[in-house]
Structure 1
Amino acid sequence: MIISFPFSSRPVLQFQTSMQQVISVWVRDPRIQKNDFWHAYMDYEICLHTDSVFFTKKISRVRRRFSEFVWLRQRLQANSMLMTQLPQLPPKNPFFSLNNAQQISERMAGLQKFLEQILQSPLLLSDSCLHLFLQSQLSVVKMEACAAGRTRYSVAQAVQCCGIRRFLSQEALQKDLSMSADSDSDSSDCKDPECQFKENLAINKASADHMGTAQEQSVCCSSDSP
């Protein structure tokens, strides 16, 4: 489901860190996702564009829901050991409606303000949970495991497995979304690193099999030659 907002042309925030490095971030494109017939939730696209040395990937886009923002704030607060005062998330509204454009726009603005303030702290920029949240499509459980080193892939590998698409203008974005409204709900272009690794293994195996067949044919050809 696609919802249009009158402020969709809101300019992208750009700010500079103390090292004169630019970080651009914005929260946009709210979409209703259905778990089943009775349960649904809303997620948002997070776009990041930066030349900061804190990020190995300079352009990314992922989708996150409100509960994942709550998880991120809790993890950052725990990892920083209260050395910094974290900004607040927009309050959780028990009467929040997935069909109320004003409530959705207010929540998006609050989520973007939260990220803007988070990304101005060098201490928080060094937290692996923040990078997994912003630049991977891992679930909360897998982000926890990856940050703790309990996965076969590293934080850097999880980030690199997330695909990049070009950034669209708001007008182009709306056109793109209208054409893909009936497509799969996950439009992030990101793959779970475990799935990516399995695909890589399959590709490598197929390549090895092909090389083995080619070698066998080469041997046969050489044995038949005078």
Structure 2
Amino acid sequence: MREESDSAVSQQIVSVWVRDPRIRKNDFWHAYIDYEICLHTDSVCFTKKISSVRRRYSEFVWLRQKLQANSMLMVQLPELPPKNPFFSLNNAQQITERMKGLQRFLEKIVQSPLLLSDSCLHLFLQSQLSVSKIQACAAGRTHYSVAQAVKSCGLRRFHSEEDLQKDLSMSCDSDSDSSECRDPEPRIKDLTIIKSQSAGLLDLMGSSQEESLSSSSGST
């Protein structure tokens, strides 16, 4: 009986990928980039079976440090793509390499049963809470629980992984909380506008389907 249970758990799937980098401007001179994290799973470890949130590179750095501390060094965490002092806001190849590195990091993280028991990981992957609120929620210092925070996060429709690879040519980024972004190339600006308009249309088209997905996924 135990062997059957272990086999069922091992066959559960957690698919996660990083895509769709977008420029976020703090002001005229400073900007950063965030990435969409899409997750699709049938694992009992997750409250939501399908989710989509956005995170920036500095939040990934925080997550790794937090998971390492919480695991008491019992797990060797995978490395993040390193910071690059020459990272260009207009270099599509550098953006693509960073996204692939972030995805590899998450793919390895979600394969660890110990790390999957960490509430901070679930809030990072399936809520849009800031890192300070993630820590507060995980510590029980908020009026809402981890499960409530995850369930309240909206779901945006996304395409197959093959389709998502087409998005990798777009973007700009920062290794710090802000970076100099004087005047990104018009091509990148145009792509960013198109992405935003497309995302808004998908939100409208997918609102009714999101409700059925949320209700059908249930709580584990």
TM-score normalised according to structure 2 size: 0.71
Is 1:154 equivalent to 2:170 in the alignment?
no
The residue number in structure 2 matching 1:209 is: none
**How many residues in Structure 1 have an aligned counterpart in Structure 2?**
169
Asked if the contact 1:26–1:47 (Cα under 8 Å) also holds between the matched residues in 2, the reply is yes
Cα distance in 1 for partners of 2:60, 2:195 equals 29
The residue number in structure 2 matching 1:133 is: 124
Is 1:22 equivalent to 2:13 in the alignment?
yes
Per-residue CA distance 1:36-75 (angstroms, 9 max, x = gap): 1111001100000000010010000000000000000000
Cα distance in 1 for partners of 2:117, 2:84 equals 31
Per-residue CA distance 1:164-204 (angstroms, 9 max, x = gap): 23222437x979972634999xx8xxxxxxxxxxxxxxxxx
Is 1:75 equivalent to 2:66 in the alignment?
yes
* Partner of residue 31 from structure 2, selected from 40, 44, 50: 40
Structure 2 runs not aligned, ≥5 long:
1-6, 168-190, 204-220
**Once the 2 structures are TM-superposed, how far is the Cα of residue 110 of structure 1 from its aligned partner?**
0.4
Asked if the contact 1:22–1:50 (Cα under 8 Å) also holds between the matched residues in 2, the reply is yes
Relative to total residues, which structure has the larger helix share, 1 or 2? 2
Q: Which has the higher contact order (CA 8 A, sep 6+)?
A: 2
Change (3 A) 1:182 1:36: farther
CA RMSD after TM alignment = 2.6
Change (3 A) 1:28 1:162: same
Q: Which has the larger radius of gyration?
A: 1
**Once the 2 structures are TM-superposed, how far is the Cα of residue 29 of structure 1 from its aligned partner?**
0.4
Asked if the contact 2:15–2:39 (Cα under 8 Å) also holds between the matched residues in 1, the reply is yes
* Partner of residue 133 from structure 2, selected from 122, 134, 142: 142
Change (3 A) 1:148 1:181: same
- The residue identity in structure 2 corresponding to 1:63 is R
The residue number in structure 1 matching 2:194 is: 178
Is 1:57 equivalent to 2:73 in the alignment?
no
Cα distance in 2 for partners of 1:78, 1:17 equals 30
The residue number in structure 1 matching 2:157 is: 166
Per-residue CA distance 1:69-114 (angstroms, 9 max, x = gap): 0000000000000001000000011111121101100100100000
* Partner of residue 122 from structure 1, selected from 91, 113, 130: 113
Cα distance in 2 for partners of 1:179, 1:131 equals 27
Identity between Structure 1 and Structure 2 (%): 76
Task: State the secondary structure of the residue aligned to 2:21.
Answer: strand
Cα distance in 2 for partners of 1:176, 1:167 equals 17
Cα distance in 2 for partners of 1:20, 1:96 equals 39
Change (3 A) 1:183 1:53: closer
TM-score normalised according to structure 1 size: 0.69
Per-residue CA distance 1:149-173 (angstroms, 9 max, x = gap): 11111111100010123222437x9
Asked if the contact 1:17–1:120 (Cα under 8 Å) also holds between the matched residues in 2, the reply is no
Is 1:98 equivalent to 2:89 in the alignment?
yes
- The residue identity in structure 2 corresponding to 1:178 is I
